[in-house]
Amino acid sequence: MRVFKFLATVTFITYFSLLYVYQQTEIFRLGYAGQRRNVQVEELLDKNALLRYNISRQASLVQIGDRISELADFQMPDSCRLVRLAPASREGEILEQGFARQETLLSRIFGIKRQAEANTLKPR
């Protein structure tokens, strides 16, 4: 009978010890979850303040893009790259300057060529 009481007491103490440990881990888990939510709330409040500021200043990306497209001769091609068109009057001047320049053997060897090289980015 004493062995039965001893085992019952040990089982009872073990059960309450495990319950206490579970309770403490839940307290820590809920504390970390609360901290994460507070950080998310702060981030959302910052975004909200920024968006309200942009609305009041009318400085959204769409409105900035509309202003740029109205004021300058930019076009958006299908590949989503911003391209500026050269004015028609300047093209004639550039072509005339190109034909007026004479190339010699020395200018071909030591001259720096005027050309633009661009690498395109592949869309992902």
Rounded Cα distance, 110 and 104, in Å: 10
How is residue 69 written in tokens? 């497209």
pLDDT of the chain along its 124 residues, tens only?
Answer: 899 999 999 999 999 999 999 999 999 999 999 999 999 999 999 999 988 887 777 766 777 777 777 776 656 566 666 556 666 554 455 555 554 456 677 666 766 666 555 666 666 5
CA angle 42, 44, 45 (to 5 degrees): 65
CA angle 87, 92, 98 (to 5 degrees): 120
Rounded Cα distance, 42 and 48, in Å: 10
Q: pLDDT at position 70, please?
A: 72
Residue 8: half-sphere exposure toward Cβ, Cα within 13 Å? 5
pTM: predicted TM-score of the whole model, two decimal places: 0.39
Q: pLDDT at position 66, please?
A: 74
